[in-house]
Amino acid sequence: MNVQDDSHLVHSLDARYYTDPATFEKERNGLLARTWQFAGHESQVRGPGDYFTFDIAGESLFCIRGRNGELRTFYNVCQHRAHQMVEGTGTTRVVVCPYHAWTYELSGELRSGPNVNAVPGFDRKKICLTSVRTESFHGFIFVNLDDNAAPMDEWYPGVREELGDYVPNIAELEPLEWVDIPEKCNWKISVENYSECYHCSLNHPTFATGVIRPETYDIQPMNKGYVLRHTTECQDLSKMTYPIDTSVPHGGEYRSFFLWPMFSFQVYPGNVLNTYHWRAHDVDNCTVWRGWYTPGGIDSEVIRRLAVQDRATTVEEDIRLVESVARGLKSRGYRPGPLVLDPACGLYSEHSIRTLQQWMREAIDG
């Protein structure tokens, strides 16, 4: 039997990138700890002392609004004997450790502790909660555990301006709902599935016939940085599954910005903002949060119906796909095949996956 020589083709990643627990640990201690990760939205911390907790790369963190209005993020650990400081969400005047009542200012500096003044040489000015790099991106809060990381505008150049152009009222938007969707797969499987539309017409009939025009769909890396930009036109208005106004700038377009490694802004036709953010739990499990936004977070029947439609169609369809891939990657019969790279790009090309998998190789293999 003759075996065709396909060494000139670009093949998908080996299964070990998705199934090896040691690879996941390497990612958690490396990639996920030195990239910009979504934390929450500024509407969650409106006033001084408002805070919320979250986990990134195996670390418990909390974001809090200071008295001067500044947003700060800290590792959720007391500098005394390592008890966690806060849980969930809330508002506080000062941050008090539940273990021994060491008390910190909202800016992180130690304020007091029982009997600490009796300790010779004790200097509370030298003790502070450990801070984490924090940026607000159109009201969306991101953190990076790497103190020396480049700012978001260098990681994702041009996105801030272009997103503001496609969602001109983005400063007014707040979450209408966030729905968390567990997936039994490695996070990279889910991210890859999101980052191509080769599968859309076959697997997402509602999205492909009632939201976007598939023949115009394309995904390209932006000129610099770590961004994949999805572009397409909306479906014929008579087929749209929700009403839109195409007279507003970009009203008849769909545009999405995937920010490597775990966040995406989607602008649906009609300037409707939607987001994905991923959390990796272990090598075989992740959660995807699907967010929808309105001015002031005020209820909207149109957006609610669109969110329900999305969950019942695209989301459910994708869960079946990614979980099947996760099972298939563990098969001894899998041999990574070549990617479909059409020089003309477009819907039925996986050039975006080639870029994404190159980022994955660089992150894991160095």
Q: Has residue 353 got a pLDDT over 50?
A: yes
Residue 261 lies in a domain: yes
Q: Where are the alpha helices (DSSP H) in 8-87?
A: 16-19, 21-29
Q: What is the CATH number for 74?
A: 2.102.10.10
Q: For the residues 321-330, what does the mean pLDDT come to? A: 98
Question: How many Cβ atoms sit within 10 Å of the Cβ of residue 282?
Answer: 12
pLDDT for the residue numbered 143: 98
CA distance 157 to 363: 20
pLDDT for the residue numbered 198: 87
6 falls in which pLDDT band (50, 70, 90)?
low
Same domain? For 121 and 84 the reply is: yes
Same domain? For 198 and 250 the reply is: yes
pLDDT digits (tens, 9 = 90+) for 141-177: 999 999 999 999 999 999 999 999 999 999 999 999 9
Q: What is the CATH number for 223?
A: 3.90.380.10
Residue 241 lies in a domain: yes
Q: Is 241 exposed, middle or buried (0-12, 13-18, 19+ CB in 10 A)?
A: middle
pLDDT digits (tens, 9 = 90+) for 189-220: 999 999 998 888 888 999 989 898 888 999 99
Same domain? For 100 and 67 the reply is: yes
pLDDT for the residue numbered 30: 96
Same domain? For 49 and 180 the reply is: no
Same domain? For 75 and 178 the reply is: no
Residue 14 lies in a domain: no
Residue 162 lies in a domain: no
Q: Has residue 2 got a pLDDT over 80?
A: no
DSSP letter, residue 313: I
Q: Determine contact, residues 315/181, Cβ cutoff 8 Å.
A: yes
pLDDT for the residue numbered 347: 86
pLDDT digits (tens, 9 = 90+) for 258-306: 999 999 999 999 999 999 999 999 999 999 999 999 999 999 999 999 9
pLDDT for the residue numbered 4: 47
Looking at the chain, the whole-number percentage of residues with pLDDT higher than 90 is: 90
CA 71 to chain centre: 19
Same domain? For 276 and 192 the reply is: yes
Residue 274 lies in a domain: yes
Q: Which long-range contacts (CB under 8 A, 24 or more apart) does 23-27 make?
A: 23/283, 23/364, 24/186, 24/280, 24/282, 24/283, 26/364, 27/280, 27/363, 27/364
pLDDT for the residue numbered 223: 81
Same domain? For 191 and 338 the reply is: yes
Q: Determine contact, residues 171/139, Cβ cutoff 8 Å.
A: yes
Triad 213, 198, 14: Cα angle to 5°: 160
Same domain? For 207 and 344 the reply is: yes
Residue 4 lies in a domain: no
Residue 25 lies in a domain: no
**Number of domains present in the structure of the chain:** 2
Its domain, for residue 80, covers 37-144
pLDDT digits (tens, 9 = 90+) for 23-79: 999 999 999 999 999 999 999 999 999 999 999 999 999 999 999 999 999 999 999
Collapse the DSSP code of 21 into the 3-class scheme (helix H, G, I; strand E, B; otherwise coil) and give the result: helix
End of a domain among 144, 177, 202? Answer: 144
pLDDT for the residue numbered 7: 56
Q: Is 266 exposed, middle or buried (0-12, 13-18, 19+ CB in 10 A)?
A: buried
Residue 62 lies in a domain: yes
Report DSSP letters for 160-211, one per residue: HHHHHHHSTTGGGEEEEEEEEEEESS-HHHHHHHHT--TTHHHH-HHHHHHT
pLDDT for the residue numbered 363: 95
Q: Where would I find the beta strands (DSSP E) of the chain?
A: 37-41, 50-56, 59-65, 71-75, 89-91, 95-96, 103-104, 110-112, 131-137, 140-144, 173-183, 218-221, 227-233, 253-259, 263-268, 272-282, 285-295
pLDDT for the residue numbered 178: 95
Same domain? For 234 and 131 the reply is: no
Q: Where are the alpha helices (DSSP H) in 44-194?
A: 152-155, 159-166, 187-194
Q: What is the mean pLDDT of the chain?
A: 95
Q: Has residue 3 got a pLDDT over 70?
A: no
Same domain? For 338 and 194 the reply is: yes
Same domain? For 263 and 312 the reply is: yes
Same domain? For 135 and 62 the reply is: yes
